[in-house]
Amino acid sequence: MSRLALIALVAAGAFGLAACSSEDQAAAPAAEESAAEGGETAEGGAEEPGDSAEGEAAEAADAFTVTASEMAFEGIPETLPAGTVEITFDNAGEAPHDLVVEELGDETVIPVTDGGGSATGTVTLEPGTYTFYCSVGTHREMGMEQTVTVE
């Protein structure tokens, strides 16, 4: 074939129910269109789409607890699975701390929490490299940051 020919075969369905009921004994000619054109019976090309249903999206891919103090985080995994992660934040220090993800537009995952306090939050991560840090004062520069790889 040298030409790209798109042949649309429209199988016009025979509306056999169109017989009016007002006439009596009108033997409806069962006009069954046995359209046997194109002798080739469609046999090949039975593609079986693989079962690509990957179930439901993971709700809570992971969860971890991070402990903040002066001036460090503890408990932030170096790697996380992609998805939504639930984070429990314990501020074991005296100064207020928070938890922010730089690559998400400095999204605040845990708001500023006073010393001795705790909070929870969630963050949804796609595969990539992220920097978790504390945005209070100069805490980040003082060590409150960690790189997390999401796979």
Residue in 61, 72, 82, 136 binding Cu ion, rule: CB under 5 A: 136
Give me the DSSP letters along 49-96.
-------SPPS--EEEEEEEETTEEE---SEE-SEEEEEEEEE-SSS-
Q: Which residues contact 20 (CB under 8 A, 6 or more apart)?
A: none
Of 89, 75, 81, 78, the C-alpha closest to 61 is 81
Shortest Å, Cβ 131 to Cu ion:
14
* Nearer CB in complex with Cu ion: 34/138: 138
Window contacting Cu ion (CB under 5 A); options: 13-21, 34-42, 116-124, 143-151: 143-151
* Nearer CB in complex with Cu ion: 81/121: 121
Residue in 119, 134, 148, 150 binding Cu ion, rule: CB under 5 A: 134
Shortest Å, Cβ 129 to Cu ion:
21
- Could you give the CA distance from residue 145 to residue 59 in angstroms, rounded to a whole number? 26
What is the pairing mode between strands 118-125 and 128-133?
unpaired
Site for Cu ion in 91-120 (CB under 5 A): 97
For residue 46, what are its two tokens?
């039975």
Residue 145 touching Cu ion (CB under 5 A): no
Site for Cu ion in 39-78 (CB under 5 A): none
Residues contributing to the site for Cu ion (CB under 5 A): 97, 134, 136, 139, 144
